[in-house]
Amino acid sequence: MFRVFSKPQAWRSMRASVVALAFAVTIVGANAQEAPPSDRSSFPDSGSNPQAAAPAGNTAWQSGYLFDFSTLGPASGIGQAMADSGVYFNGGETGILAGNIAGGAKQGAVFDNDFLLEIDLDMNRILGIPGAAMHIAVDDRVGGYYGKFSGSNTLTPQTFGPNEVLQFQELDWDQSLFDNHVLLLVGRQSPVQDFNSLPIACNFVFTNACSNFTSFFFNDSAAIAPASTWGARISLHPTLETYLRAGVYEDDPYAYSQASNLGNNWGLGHATGAFVPVELGYKSDFSTDPYPRVYAVGGFYDNSPYPDPLFNNAGLPLPLYGGTALNDQGRTSVYAMFQQMIWRPDLSETRRGLTLFGGAMFGSNQSEIRQYYQAGLSDQGPFASHPHDSINFLAMYQVFNQRLVESQTLLANQGGYTGTMNKGETDFELNYLWQIGAGVSVQPFVEYIIHPDQIGFATPNPRLPSSTTLGMQVAIALPDSLGLPVFVRKN
Protein backbone atom coordinates (compact mmCIF):
# COMPACT_ATOMS: atom_id res chain seq x y z
CA MET A 1 0.00 0.00 0.00
CA PHE A 2 2.74 2.45 0.99
CA ARG A 3 5.74 3.06 -1.22
CA VAL A 4 8.85 5.18 -0.85
CA PHE A 5 9.84 7.28 -3.83
CA SER A 6 12.84 9.40 -4.68
CA LYS A 7 13.03 12.83 -6.26
CA PRO A 8 15.72 15.38 -7.14
CA GLN A 9 17.31 17.24 -4.23
CA ALA A 10 16.08 20.45 -5.87
CA TRP A 11 12.63 19.72 -4.47
CA ARG A 12 13.99 19.77 -0.92
CA SER A 13 15.75 23.08 -1.55
CA MET A 14 12.55 24.53 -2.99
CA ARG A 15 10.59 23.22 -0.01
CA ALA A 16 12.96 24.90 2.43
CA SER A 17 12.67 28.14 0.45
CA VAL A 18 8.86 28.00 0.53
CA VAL A 19 8.88 27.46 4.31
CA ALA A 20 11.26 30.37 4.80
CA LEU A 21 9.22 32.63 2.49
CA ALA A 22 5.92 31.78 4.19
CA PHE A 23 7.45 32.48 7.59
CA ALA A 24 9.01 35.74 6.44
CA VAL A 25 5.74 36.97 4.95
CA THR A 26 3.72 36.21 8.05
CA ILE A 27 6.07 37.78 10.62
CA VAL A 28 5.95 41.20 8.94
CA GLY A 29 3.23 43.54 10.12
CA ALA A 30 1.82 45.28 13.14
CA ASN A 31 -1.51 46.13 14.81
CA ALA A 32 -1.65 43.24 17.25
CA GLN A 33 -5.02 41.57 17.80
CA GLU A 34 -6.17 38.97 20.22
CA ALA A 35 -5.55 35.61 18.55
CA PRO A 36 -8.40 33.21 17.93
CA PRO A 37 -8.30 29.89 19.80
CA SER A 38 -6.71 26.80 18.30
CA ASP A 39 -9.96 24.88 17.82
CA ARG A 40 -11.81 27.12 15.39
CA SER A 41 -14.46 24.58 14.50
CA SER A 42 -16.37 25.19 17.72
CA PHE A 43 -17.31 28.76 16.87
CA PRO A 44 -20.26 29.98 14.79
CA ASP A 45 -19.45 31.28 11.34
CA SER A 46 -19.22 35.00 10.64
CA GLY A 47 -18.02 37.42 8.00
CA SER A 48 -19.04 38.16 4.44
CA ASN A 49 -18.86 34.50 3.52
CA PRO A 50 -20.84 32.19 5.85
CA GLN A 51 -17.81 29.88 5.77
CA ALA A 52 -15.22 32.56 6.57
CA ALA A 53 -14.50 33.48 10.16
CA ALA A 54 -11.83 34.92 12.39
CA PRO A 55 -13.55 34.83 15.79
CA ALA A 56 -12.03 36.48 18.82
CA GLY A 57 -10.77 34.10 21.45
CA ASN A 58 -11.66 34.04 25.12
CA THR A 59 -9.14 34.65 27.87
CA ALA A 60 -9.90 31.46 29.79
CA TRP A 61 -9.27 29.24 26.79
CA GLN A 62 -6.11 31.09 25.70
CA SER A 63 -4.35 30.94 29.04
CA GLY A 64 -1.96 28.15 29.98
CA TYR A 65 0.69 28.39 27.24
CA LEU A 66 4.41 28.20 27.96
CA PHE A 67 4.79 30.92 25.33
CA ASP A 68 2.47 32.45 22.75
CA PHE A 69 3.84 34.16 19.67
CA SER A 70 0.31 34.90 18.48
CA THR A 71 -0.30 37.40 21.28
CA LEU A 72 2.64 39.48 20.06
CA GLY A 73 0.70 40.09 16.87
CA PRO A 74 3.59 40.21 14.37
CA ALA A 75 1.43 38.83 11.58
CA SER A 76 -2.02 40.05 12.46
CA GLY A 77 -1.77 43.31 10.52
CA ILE A 78 -0.96 41.70 7.19
CA GLY A 79 -3.12 38.68 7.99
CA GLN A 80 -6.18 40.81 8.68
CA ALA A 81 -5.57 42.92 5.61
CA MET A 82 -5.41 39.78 3.49
CA ALA A 83 -8.56 38.40 5.15
CA ASP A 84 -10.36 41.67 4.39
CA SER A 85 -9.41 41.03 0.76
CA GLY A 86 -10.64 37.43 0.95
CA VAL A 87 -7.27 35.65 1.20
CA TYR A 88 -6.38 33.33 4.09
CA PHE A 89 -3.16 31.44 4.77
CA ASN A 90 -3.22 27.99 6.38
CA GLY A 91 -0.91 25.02 6.73
CA GLY A 92 1.99 24.03 8.90
CA GLU A 93 4.81 21.64 9.62
CA THR A 94 4.63 18.23 11.31
CA GLY A 95 7.64 16.07 12.11
CA ILE A 96 7.58 12.61 13.69
CA LEU A 97 10.56 10.69 15.08
CA ALA A 98 9.69 7.04 15.77
CA GLY A 99 12.01 4.29 16.99
CA ASN A 100 11.42 0.59 17.50
CA ILE A 101 13.04 -0.18 20.85
CA ALA A 102 11.88 -3.77 21.42
CA GLY A 103 10.59 -6.62 19.29
CA GLY A 104 9.48 -5.99 15.76
CA ALA A 105 11.47 -6.90 12.67
CA LYS A 106 14.59 -5.04 13.81
CA GLN A 107 15.64 -2.07 15.90
CA GLY A 108 15.88 1.30 14.23
CA ALA A 109 14.26 4.69 13.82
CA VAL A 110 12.96 6.99 11.10
CA PHE A 111 12.02 10.65 10.87
CA ASP A 112 9.06 11.60 8.69
CA ASN A 113 8.17 15.20 7.96
CA ASP A 114 5.18 16.87 6.34
CA PHE A 115 4.90 20.47 5.12
CA LEU A 116 1.50 21.82 4.04
CA LEU A 117 0.81 25.25 2.60
CA GLU A 118 -2.81 26.18 1.91
CA ILE A 119 -4.50 29.29 0.57
CA ASP A 120 -8.24 29.75 1.07
CA LEU A 121 -9.97 32.30 -1.13
CA ASP A 122 -13.28 33.86 -0.06
CA MET A 123 -14.91 34.31 -3.46
CA ASN A 124 -17.64 36.48 -1.99
CA ARG A 125 -15.13 39.18 -1.14
CA ILE A 126 -13.05 38.62 -4.29
CA LEU A 127 -15.75 38.19 -6.96
CA GLY A 128 -19.00 38.80 -5.10
CA ILE A 129 -20.17 35.16 -5.28
CA PRO A 130 -22.07 34.45 -2.03
CA GLY A 131 -21.05 31.34 -0.10
CA ALA A 132 -18.24 30.46 -2.52
CA ALA A 133 -14.60 29.67 -1.78
CA MET A 134 -11.57 28.08 -3.40
CA HIS A 135 -8.99 25.92 -1.62
CA ILE A 136 -5.46 25.49 -2.94
CA ALA A 137 -3.13 23.24 -0.94
CA VAL A 138 0.38 21.96 -1.74
CA ASP A 139 1.97 19.23 0.37
CA ASP A 140 5.49 17.81 0.56
CA ARG A 141 6.56 14.80 2.61
CA VAL A 142 10.01 13.36 3.22
CA GLY A 143 11.22 10.49 5.37
CA GLY A 144 11.56 6.74 5.61
CA TYR A 145 9.37 3.67 5.87
CA TYR A 146 8.90 2.69 9.52
CA GLY A 147 7.26 -0.69 8.83
CA LYS A 148 10.66 -2.28 8.14
CA PHE A 149 11.42 -1.83 11.85
CA SER A 150 8.07 -2.43 13.56
CA GLY A 151 6.98 -5.17 11.16
CA SER A 152 3.61 -3.50 10.55
CA ASN A 153 2.66 -2.18 7.14
CA THR A 154 -0.77 -0.96 8.22
CA LEU A 155 0.47 1.17 11.14
CA THR A 156 2.88 3.94 10.21
CA PRO A 157 3.37 7.57 11.34
CA GLN A 158 0.63 9.81 9.96
CA THR A 159 3.19 11.92 8.03
CA PHE A 160 4.35 8.99 5.90
CA GLY A 161 3.35 8.32 2.29
CA PRO A 162 3.45 9.04 -0.47
CA ASN A 163 6.92 10.42 0.28
CA GLU A 164 9.41 12.38 -1.82
CA VAL A 165 6.60 13.73 -4.02
CA LEU A 166 5.39 17.32 -4.10
CA GLN A 167 1.61 17.08 -4.37
CA PHE A 168 -1.41 19.23 -5.01
CA GLN A 169 -3.42 18.03 -2.02
CA GLU A 170 -6.38 20.17 -2.98
CA LEU A 171 -7.56 22.47 -5.75
CA ASP A 172 -11.33 22.78 -5.66
CA TRP A 173 -14.42 24.98 -5.54
CA ASP A 174 -16.39 25.09 -2.29
CA GLN A 175 -20.00 26.30 -2.50
CA SER A 176 -22.50 26.88 0.29
CA LEU A 177 -26.18 27.12 -0.69
CA PHE A 178 -29.49 27.74 1.10
CA ASP A 179 -27.96 29.16 4.29
CA ASN A 180 -25.43 26.30 4.68
CA HIS A 181 -28.07 23.58 4.25
CA VAL A 182 -26.39 22.38 1.03
CA LEU A 183 -22.59 22.26 0.70
CA LEU A 184 -20.78 21.33 -2.51
CA LEU A 185 -17.09 20.63 -3.11
CA VAL A 186 -15.81 19.94 -6.65
CA GLY A 187 -12.26 19.54 -7.98
CA ARG A 188 -8.99 17.87 -6.97
CA GLN A 189 -9.43 16.45 -3.48
CA SER A 190 -9.25 13.39 -1.23
CA PRO A 191 -12.24 11.90 0.64
CA VAL A 192 -10.36 11.31 3.90
CA GLN A 193 -11.43 14.55 5.64
CA ASP A 194 -15.12 14.25 4.78
CA PHE A 195 -15.86 10.60 5.56
CA ASN A 196 -15.03 8.27 8.45
CA SER A 197 -13.16 11.01 10.28
CA LEU A 198 -13.73 11.92 13.92
CA PRO A 199 -12.69 15.40 15.16
CA ILE A 200 -10.49 13.77 17.80
CA ALA A 201 -8.78 11.36 15.38
CA CYS A 202 -5.57 13.31 14.85
CA ASN A 203 -4.81 13.49 18.55
CA PHE A 204 -3.01 10.27 17.65
CA VAL A 205 0.27 9.90 15.79
CA PHE A 206 -0.04 6.62 13.89
CA THR A 207 -2.45 5.95 11.01
CA ASN A 208 -4.68 3.67 13.04
CA ALA A 209 -6.75 6.78 13.75
CA CYS A 210 -5.58 9.90 11.90
CA SER A 211 -7.70 10.77 10.20
CA ASN A 212 -9.61 7.58 9.33
CA PHE A 213 -9.83 3.95 10.31
CA THR A 214 -6.93 2.03 8.76
CA SER A 215 -9.39 -0.11 6.82
CA PHE A 216 -10.97 2.98 5.23
CA PHE A 217 -8.04 3.45 2.88
CA PHE A 218 -6.67 -0.12 2.74
CA ASN A 219 -9.98 -1.53 1.50
CA ASP A 220 -10.32 0.65 -1.59
CA SER A 221 -8.37 2.43 -4.32
CA ALA A 222 -9.27 6.01 -3.36
CA ALA A 223 -6.62 8.68 -2.94
CA ILE A 224 -5.06 9.07 0.49
CA ALA A 225 -4.13 12.63 1.42
CA PRO A 226 -1.89 14.29 0.44
CA ALA A 227 -2.52 12.59 -2.91
CA SER A 228 -5.64 13.83 -4.66
CA THR A 229 -7.82 12.93 -7.62
CA TRP A 230 -10.89 14.42 -9.30
CA GLY A 231 -13.99 14.23 -7.16
CA ALA A 232 -17.18 15.84 -5.94
CA ARG A 233 -18.94 15.84 -2.58
CA ILE A 234 -22.34 17.06 -1.43
CA SER A 235 -23.46 17.56 2.18
CA LEU A 236 -27.11 18.06 3.07
CA HIS A 237 -27.83 19.58 6.49
CA PRO A 238 -31.51 19.37 7.48
CA THR A 239 -30.47 20.97 10.79
CA LEU A 240 -27.28 22.55 12.11
CA GLU A 241 -26.17 19.26 13.68
CA THR A 242 -27.48 16.60 11.27
CA TYR A 243 -26.07 15.76 7.86
CA LEU A 244 -26.22 13.35 4.94
CA ARG A 245 -23.02 13.36 2.88
CA ALA A 246 -22.11 11.57 -0.34
CA GLY A 247 -19.31 11.75 -2.85
CA VAL A 248 -17.80 10.24 -5.97
CA TYR A 249 -14.03 10.20 -6.56
CA GLU A 250 -11.75 9.00 -9.32
CA ASP A 251 -9.59 5.96 -8.51
CA ASP A 252 -6.14 6.64 -9.91
CA PRO A 253 -3.10 4.63 -8.74
CA TYR A 254 -0.90 7.04 -10.73
CA ALA A 255 -1.53 9.62 -7.99
CA TYR A 256 1.06 7.75 -5.91
CA SER A 257 3.69 7.48 -8.64
CA GLN A 258 7.09 9.11 -8.59
CA ALA A 259 5.91 11.89 -10.87
CA SER A 260 4.77 14.96 -8.96
CA ASN A 261 1.17 15.79 -9.76
CA LEU A 262 1.91 19.50 -9.67
CA GLY A 263 2.26 19.21 -13.42
CA ASN A 264 1.11 15.69 -14.24
CA ASN A 265 -1.89 13.44 -13.93
CA TRP A 266 -4.59 16.06 -14.54
CA GLY A 267 -6.51 13.91 -17.01
CA LEU A 268 -8.58 10.78 -16.52
CA GLY A 269 -6.36 8.52 -18.60
CA HIS A 270 -5.05 6.59 -15.60
CA ALA A 271 -8.44 6.14 -13.88
CA THR A 272 -9.29 2.56 -12.91
CA GLY A 273 -12.75 3.13 -11.46
CA ALA A 274 -14.73 5.14 -8.94
CA PHE A 275 -14.97 5.37 -5.16
CA VAL A 276 -18.43 6.24 -3.80
CA PRO A 277 -18.77 6.92 -0.03
CA VAL A 278 -21.92 7.87 1.91
CA GLU A 279 -22.27 8.99 5.53
CA LEU A 280 -25.22 9.92 7.77
CA GLY A 281 -24.46 11.61 11.05
CA TYR A 282 -25.07 13.97 13.95
CA LYS A 283 -22.32 16.36 15.05
CA SER A 284 -22.34 19.12 17.67
CA ASP A 285 -19.65 21.41 19.09
CA PHE A 286 -19.09 23.79 21.99
CA SER A 287 -21.04 26.57 20.33
CA THR A 288 -24.31 24.67 20.82
CA ASP A 289 -23.53 21.74 23.14
CA PRO A 290 -21.75 21.69 26.52
CA TYR A 291 -20.89 18.01 25.84
CA PRO A 292 -20.00 17.86 22.11
CA ARG A 293 -20.69 14.61 20.32
CA VAL A 294 -20.49 12.84 16.95
CA TYR A 295 -22.53 9.80 15.91
CA ALA A 296 -22.28 8.55 12.35
CA VAL A 297 -22.81 5.53 10.12
CA GLY A 298 -21.51 5.15 6.59
CA GLY A 299 -20.07 2.97 3.92
CA PHE A 300 -18.53 2.95 0.48
CA TYR A 301 -18.41 1.04 -2.79
CA ASP A 302 -15.31 0.88 -4.99
CA ASN A 303 -15.60 -0.69 -8.45
CA SER A 304 -11.89 -0.70 -9.33
CA PRO A 305 -10.17 -4.02 -10.05
CA TYR A 306 -7.63 -5.10 -7.46
CA PRO A 307 -5.18 -8.03 -7.11
CA ASP A 308 -6.42 -11.11 -5.30
CA PRO A 309 -4.45 -11.59 -2.05
CA LEU A 310 -3.80 -15.30 -2.75
CA PHE A 311 -4.56 -16.62 -6.23
CA ASN A 312 -3.05 -16.09 -9.68
CA ASN A 313 -4.92 -16.05 -12.99
CA ALA A 314 -4.92 -19.84 -13.06
CA GLY A 315 -6.55 -20.05 -9.63
CA LEU A 316 -3.32 -21.30 -7.98
CA PRO A 317 -1.58 -19.82 -4.93
CA LEU A 318 0.80 -17.04 -6.01
CA PRO A 319 3.52 -17.77 -3.42
CA LEU A 320 3.84 -21.33 -4.75
CA TYR A 321 3.28 -20.94 -8.48
CA GLY A 322 3.98 -17.26 -9.23
CA GLY A 323 2.37 -15.63 -12.25
CA THR A 324 0.00 -12.67 -12.33
CA ALA A 325 -2.44 -12.03 -9.51
CA LEU A 326 -6.09 -12.74 -10.26
CA ASN A 327 -8.07 -9.54 -10.71
CA ASP A 328 -10.99 -9.20 -8.31
CA GLN A 329 -13.67 -6.56 -8.86
CA GLY A 330 -15.73 -4.43 -6.49
CA ARG A 331 -15.33 -3.85 -2.75
CA THR A 332 -17.74 -2.58 -0.14
CA SER A 333 -17.28 -1.58 3.51
CA VAL A 334 -19.67 -0.27 6.16
CA TYR A 335 -18.82 1.49 9.41
CA ALA A 336 -20.19 3.14 12.53
CA MET A 337 -18.36 5.58 14.80
CA PHE A 338 -18.94 7.91 17.71
CA GLN A 339 -17.28 10.58 19.84
CA GLN A 340 -18.88 11.80 23.08
CA MET A 341 -17.62 14.14 25.79
CA ILE A 342 -18.75 12.42 28.99
CA TRP A 343 -17.33 14.60 31.78
CA ARG A 344 -16.23 18.18 32.39
CA PRO A 345 -14.69 19.53 35.59
CA ASP A 346 -16.70 22.73 35.11
CA LEU A 347 -18.80 24.46 32.48
CA SER A 348 -16.55 27.50 32.18
CA GLU A 349 -15.18 28.91 28.95
CA THR A 350 -12.44 26.29 28.77
CA ARG A 351 -13.00 23.03 26.94
CA ARG A 352 -11.53 20.72 29.52
CA GLY A 353 -13.11 17.30 29.85
CA LEU A 354 -13.05 13.59 29.13
CA THR A 355 -14.14 12.27 25.73
CA LEU A 356 -14.95 8.67 24.84
CA PHE A 357 -14.80 7.54 21.21
CA GLY A 358 -14.81 4.38 19.11
CA GLY A 359 -16.08 2.60 16.05
CA ALA A 360 -16.01 -0.44 13.80
CA MET A 361 -15.76 -1.20 10.08
CA PHE A 362 -16.53 -4.37 8.13
CA GLY A 363 -15.22 -5.10 4.65
CA SER A 364 -16.74 -7.40 2.02
CA ASN A 365 -15.34 -9.70 -0.66
CA GLN A 366 -11.54 -9.82 -0.63
CA SER A 367 -11.00 -6.57 1.26
CA GLU A 368 -7.61 -6.62 2.90
CA ILE A 369 -9.00 -5.79 6.36
CA ARG A 370 -12.26 -7.64 6.95
CA GLN A 371 -12.94 -6.29 10.44
CA TYR A 372 -11.68 -3.20 12.25
CA TYR A 373 -12.44 -2.04 15.81
CA GLN A 374 -11.19 0.92 17.83
CA ALA A 375 -11.95 2.55 21.17
CA GLY A 376 -10.26 5.21 23.22
CA LEU A 377 -10.30 8.09 25.67
CA SER A 378 -9.02 11.64 25.46
CA ASP A 379 -8.65 13.88 28.50
CA GLN A 380 -8.54 17.50 27.35
CA GLY A 381 -6.89 19.80 29.89
CA PRO A 382 -5.81 17.18 32.45
CA PHE A 383 -4.37 20.03 34.53
CA ALA A 384 -6.25 23.28 35.09
CA SER A 385 -3.08 25.26 34.34
CA HIS A 386 -2.74 23.52 30.94
CA PRO A 387 -6.23 23.54 29.36
CA HIS A 388 -4.86 22.93 25.83
CA ASP A 389 -2.92 19.76 26.68
CA SER A 390 -4.44 16.31 26.38
CA ILE A 391 -3.72 12.73 27.37
CA ASN A 392 -4.87 10.31 24.68
CA PHE A 393 -5.26 6.54 24.66
CA LEU A 394 -6.37 4.29 21.80
CA ALA A 395 -6.85 0.53 21.43
CA MET A 396 -7.34 -1.00 17.98
CA TYR A 397 -7.84 -4.50 16.58
CA GLN A 398 -8.05 -5.48 12.92
CA VAL A 399 -8.76 -8.85 11.29
CA PHE A 400 -7.17 -9.59 7.91
CA ASN A 401 -8.65 -11.36 4.91
CA GLN A 402 -8.24 -15.12 5.24
CA ARG A 403 -6.70 -15.36 1.77
CA LEU A 404 -4.12 -12.76 2.78
CA VAL A 405 -3.29 -14.75 5.93
CA GLU A 406 -2.87 -17.92 3.85
CA SER A 407 -0.60 -16.13 1.38
CA GLN A 408 1.54 -14.72 4.20
CA THR A 409 1.76 -18.17 5.78
CA LEU A 410 2.95 -19.76 2.51
CA LEU A 411 5.64 -17.10 2.18
CA ALA A 412 6.76 -17.72 5.76
CA ASN A 413 6.91 -21.49 5.25
CA GLN A 414 8.93 -21.07 2.04
CA GLY A 415 11.37 -18.91 4.00
CA GLY A 416 11.99 -21.66 6.51
CA TYR A 417 9.56 -20.61 9.24
CA THR A 418 6.94 -23.00 10.62
CA GLY A 419 3.53 -21.99 11.91
CA THR A 420 0.62 -19.88 10.71
CA MET A 421 0.55 -16.12 10.45
CA ASN A 422 -1.81 -14.48 12.91
CA LYS A 423 -5.13 -13.39 11.45
CA GLY A 424 -5.23 -10.10 13.34
CA GLU A 425 -3.14 -7.23 14.65
CA THR A 426 -3.70 -5.31 17.90
CA ASP A 427 -2.36 -1.84 18.62
CA PHE A 428 -2.26 0.47 21.63
CA GLU A 429 -1.17 4.11 21.59
CA LEU A 430 -0.67 6.38 24.60
CA ASN A 431 0.49 9.95 24.16
CA TYR A 432 0.64 13.32 25.86
CA LEU A 433 -0.06 16.32 23.64
CA TRP A 434 1.75 19.29 25.18
CA GLN A 435 0.52 22.54 23.63
CA ILE A 436 3.51 24.70 24.47
CA GLY A 437 2.19 27.67 22.51
CA ALA A 438 -0.70 28.64 20.29
CA GLY A 439 -0.37 26.34 17.29
CA VAL A 440 2.85 24.74 18.58
CA SER A 441 2.79 21.29 20.18
CA VAL A 442 5.17 18.56 21.32
CA GLN A 443 3.72 15.08 21.61
CA PRO A 444 5.68 12.15 23.07
CA PHE A 445 4.04 8.77 22.49
CA VAL A 446 4.42 5.04 22.98
CA GLU A 447 2.99 2.50 20.52
CA TYR A 448 2.65 -1.22 21.28
CA ILE A 449 1.74 -3.61 18.44
CA ILE A 450 0.80 -7.26 19.00
CA HIS A 451 1.40 -9.57 16.01
CA PRO A 452 2.67 -7.00 13.45
CA ASP A 453 1.11 -7.87 10.08
CA GLN A 454 4.36 -7.95 8.01
CA ILE A 455 2.32 -7.41 4.84
CA GLY A 456 4.70 -6.95 1.90
CA PHE A 457 7.59 -8.73 3.63
CA ALA A 458 9.32 -11.28 1.37
CA THR A 459 9.60 -13.66 4.34
CA PRO A 460 7.17 -12.88 7.17
CA ASN A 461 7.86 -14.48 10.55
CA PRO A 462 4.93 -16.16 12.37
CA ARG A 463 6.89 -15.97 15.61
CA LEU A 464 7.12 -12.19 15.64
CA PRO A 465 5.09 -11.46 18.79
CA SER A 466 5.14 -7.70 19.28
CA SER A 467 6.78 -4.34 18.65
CA THR A 468 7.29 -1.38 20.99
CA THR A 469 7.75 2.12 19.59
CA LEU A 470 8.79 5.29 21.36
CA GLY A 471 8.57 8.57 19.55
CA MET A 472 7.90 12.28 19.45
CA GLN A 473 5.78 14.47 17.22
CA VAL A 474 6.36 18.21 16.84
CA ALA A 475 3.72 20.24 15.02
CA ILE A 476 3.43 23.92 14.07
CA ALA A 477 0.18 25.35 12.73
CA LEU A 478 0.93 28.62 10.92
CA PRO A 479 -2.35 30.50 11.52
CA ASP A 480 -2.56 29.80 15.25
CA SER A 481 1.14 30.26 15.96
CA LEU A 482 1.25 33.63 14.19
CA GLY A 483 -2.16 35.01 15.13
CA LEU A 484 -3.53 34.89 11.58
CA PRO A 485 -7.26 34.90 10.77
CA VAL A 486 -8.41 31.57 9.38
CA PHE A 487 -11.08 30.35 7.02
CA VAL A 488 -13.42 28.02 8.92
CA ARG A 489 -14.66 25.37 6.53
CA LYS A 490 -18.01 23.66 6.62
CA ASN A 491 -18.46 20.04 5.56
Average pLDDT over residues 149-170: 87
Domain-embedded: residue 380: yes
Task: State the CATH number of the domain containing residue 455.
Answer: 2.40.160.180
Q: What is the pLDDT of residue 260?
A: 57
Per residue in 182-193, pLDDT (tens digit) is 999 999 998 888
**Least confident residue range of 291-295, 302-306, 414-418, 483-487:** 483-487
Asked whether the beta carbons of 161 and 96 are under 8 A apart, the reply is: no
Task: Give a three-class secondary structure readout of 155-211.
Answer: CCECCCCCCCCEEEEEEEEEEEECCCCEEEEEEEECHHHCCCCCCCHHHCCECCCCC
pTM: 0.86
pLDDT(5) > 80 = no
pLDDT(359) > 50 = yes
pLDDT(288) > 70 = yes
Q: What is the pLDDT of residue 60?
A: 42
Average pLDDT over residues 359-367: 92
pLDDT(281) > 50 = yes
Domain-embedded: residue 488: no
Domain-embedded: residue 217: yes
CA angle 409, 411, 413 (to 5 degrees): 70
Own/partner contacts of 375-384, CB < 8 Å, gap of 24 or more, are 376/204, 376/209, 378/200, 378/203, 378/354, 379/353, 379/354, 379/355, 380/351, 380/352, 380/353, 380/354, 380/355, 381/345, 381/350, 381/351, 381/352, 381/353, 384/345, 384/352
* Structural domain count, the chain: 1
* Those residues with Cβ within 8 angstroms of residue 127's Cβ, 6 or more apart along the chain or in another chain: none
Domain-embedded: residue 79: yes
Average pLDDT over residues 43-65: 43
**Paired strand residues for 113:** 95, 142
CA angle 118, 123, 125 (to 5 degrees): 110
Find the domain containing 119 and state its range: 9-482
Per residue in 368-427, pLDDT (tens digit) is 999 999 999 999 999 988 899 999 999 999 999 999 999 999 999 999 999 999 999 999
Domain-embedded: residue 404: yes
Domain-embedded: residue 490: no
Model confidence at 12, in pLDDT bands (50, 70, 90)?
A: very low
Per residue in 214-263, pLDDT (tens digit) is 999 899 998 888 888 999 999 999 999 999 999 999 998 877 765 555 65
Q: What is the pLDDT of residue 310?
A: 95
d(CA 29, CA 25): 9
pLDDT(198) > 90 = yes
Output the average pLDDT for the chain.
84
Residue type, 461: N
CA-derived radius of gyration, the chain: 23
Domain-embedded: residue 238: yes
d(CA 304, CA 283): 32
Asked whether the beta carbons of 167 and 190 are under 8 A apart, the reply is: no
10 Å CB burial of residue 13 (0-12, 13-18, 19+) is: exposed
Nearest to 240 by CA among 204, 284, 189: 284
